[in-house]
Amino acid sequence: MSRVLIVDAERKPLMPCTPARARLLLKAGKAAILRRFPFVLMLREARPEAVVEPLRVKLDPGAKTSGIAVLHEQSGEVMWAAELTHRSPQIREALAKRRAVRRSRRSRHTRYRAARFANRRRPKGWLAPSLESRVLHLLTWVKRLSRWCPVGALSLELVRFDLALLQNPSIEGIEYQRGTLWGTEVRQYLLTKWQHRCTYCQASEVPLEIDHVSPRSKDGSDRIANLVIACRPCNQAKGDHPLESFLANRPDVLTRVQAQRRAPLHDAAAVNSTRWQLYERLKALDLPVETGSGGLTKWNRQSRNLPKTHWIDAACTGRSTPERLQIRHVRPWLIQAQGRQARRMVNVDKRGFPRGKAKGPSCICGLRTGDLVRAVVTKGKKIGTYVGRVAIKSDGYLKLRGRPFGMVEGIHARYCRPVHRNDGYAYAQGEAALPPQA
């Protein structure tokens, strides 16, 4: 397994130890558990004389999942690794609902409200909330690792995706100024992009035509993002209808078409927008920051014959990557970003009017929603031991969700003892990239 992070009684980070060493320390009473997820130990005495070697934290930022690795450069051993899944889609969905509520409020015509689009100025370096969350999550984990292990340097994959090159891999030189499809027939490009199949019915080996997703009769453009390939029956049936109304009865097809139209450039644009912000904020931590390209990361991984995963890409970032990486027994943490509590104090209907009562107290007997607790019920109908996530209620009788019991209600807070406080993340243990005998 991965190394166990450890600090002394004064919270000074020490060199990570092996799981066997951690078990001996716990059994002898020389250490206590500081955190369950990720697993961190704290010694019961200070160790000012302890000798530590600086470790390097490596980051591989991604649009959906980012890789994190803690590397010992002298030995080439990956001490600790994780894959962090961002929650940007949930943030975008919440913001879309909020904008819809604001629009519905303006449509009531109850009183005049002056538009505010002209008196707002975004500060320099502003990022959309869905992009800002990516940067903040990575900064959070760099700071946490700096508290739990002796971090001496950082490595970051500072990649810039060439959007023109993604659409046309053979583009070079003056062709950047001539446009994405200069010298390339649009029809052939669309046939290749949609794999010679109808976009709507997936029919193949039939005559295919170019169709405008947003009809030209409704000011649809001839941009490549607005063009798809379709068979004649589907093209005639769609006519000048918008894509959403044409595929209203086939939501799965609508989701697939929209994802295939935008996915390649959407993720690349997200990484492009956050790369320099992340770099500048990492530099503010007063640690040396090494940068490397995506091509260098790929070359490091392939030259060492390593499988492609997010945390291995992070370990291969930059020129500081040792010639031999020891990843044989590393089991990465699978970390998923989640919300802590709803910001909305009261639910609203589709027109923006309050529906229901305001949110109740957020803390009952020292417990908050999302905390991992161990409940030992000694009397009543629910006698037993339960370990799971808790949802608090104002009357003190809580809900617990966990395995293998699923969900159980009516557990009083006096039976519950916290195991891990909710910190906005869900944790799981991944599998090793290579078998131990490899």
pLDDT tens digits along 176-209: 444 544 434 567 667 767 878 898 998 888 888 8
pLDDT tens digits along 14-24: 999 999 999 99
Residue 305 falls in which region: left (phi positive, over 0), alpha (psi -120 to 50) or beta: left
* Half-sphere exposure of residue 237: CA atoms within 13 angstroms, side-chain side: 11
**Pairing between β-strand 397-402 and β-strand 384-391 as defined by DSSP bridges:** antiparallel
Tell me if 314 sits within 8 A of 67, measured CB to CB. yes
With a CB cutoff of 8 Å and minimum separation 6, the contacts of 158 are 275, 276, 279, 291, 292, 293
Q: In whole angstroms, what is the distance from residue 29 CA to residue 38 CA?
A: 20
Single-letter residue type at 38 = P
Does an H or E element contain 258, and which? helix 251-283
Q: In whole angstroms, what is the distance from residue 223 CA to residue 180 CA?
A: 10
Q: In whole angstroms, what is the distance from residue 171 CA to residue 383 CA?
A: 69
CA dist 226 to 161, 186, 261, 265, Å? 21, 12, 8, 14
Burial classification of residue 203, based on how many CB atoms lie within 10 Å of its CB (0-12 exposed, 13-18 middle, 19 or more buried): middle
Q: Which of 432, 171, 195, 250 is nearest to 326 (CA)?
A: 432
Q: Which of 273, 334, 317, 326 is nearest to 153 (CA)?
A: 317
Q: Is the pTM value of this prediction over 0.75? A: no
Q: Which of 187, 167, 184, 168 is nearest to 228 (CA)?
A: 187
Residue 231, beta-bridge partner list: 208
CA-CA-CA-CA torsion for 90, 93, 95, 97, nearest 10 degrees? -140
Q: What is the pLDDT of residue 181?
A: 45
Tell me if 129 sits within 8 A of 274, measured CB to CB. no
Tell me if 138 sits within 8 A of 84, measured CB to CB. yes
Tell me if 326 sits within 8 A of 92, measured CB to CB. no
Q: What structural domains and CATH numbers belong to the chain?
A: 1-52 (no CATH), 164-266 (1.10.30), 363-428 (2.30.30)
Altogether, the residues listed in the chain come to a count of 438
- Show the tokens assigned to 338: 């989640």
Q: Which of 81, 78, 79 is nearest to 15 (CA)?
A: 79
Does an H or E element contain 52, and which? none
Tell me if 221 sits within 8 A of 214, measured CB to CB. yes
Q: In whole angstroms, what is the distance from residue 67 CA to residue 335 CA?
A: 10
Helix (DSSP H) and strand (DSSP E) numbers for the chain: 11, 17
Residue by residue, pLDDT tens for the chain (438 residues) are 689 999 999 999 999 999 999 999 999 999 999 999 999 999 999 999 999 999 999 999 988 899 999 999 999 999 999 999 999 888 888 788 777 776 666 566 666 666 666 666 778 888 888 899 999 999 999 999 999 999 999 999 986 655 555 555 555 554 544 454 443 456 766 776 787 889 899 888 888 888 988 888 887 877 777 888 899 999 999 888 888 888 888 888 888 888 777 655 566 677 778 888 999 999 999 999 999 888 788 889 989 999 989 999 999 999 999 999 999 889 999 999 987 665 566 777 777 677 777 666 578 888 988 899 999 999 888 899 999 999 888 888 999 988 888 899 989 999 999 999 888 899 998 887 654 333
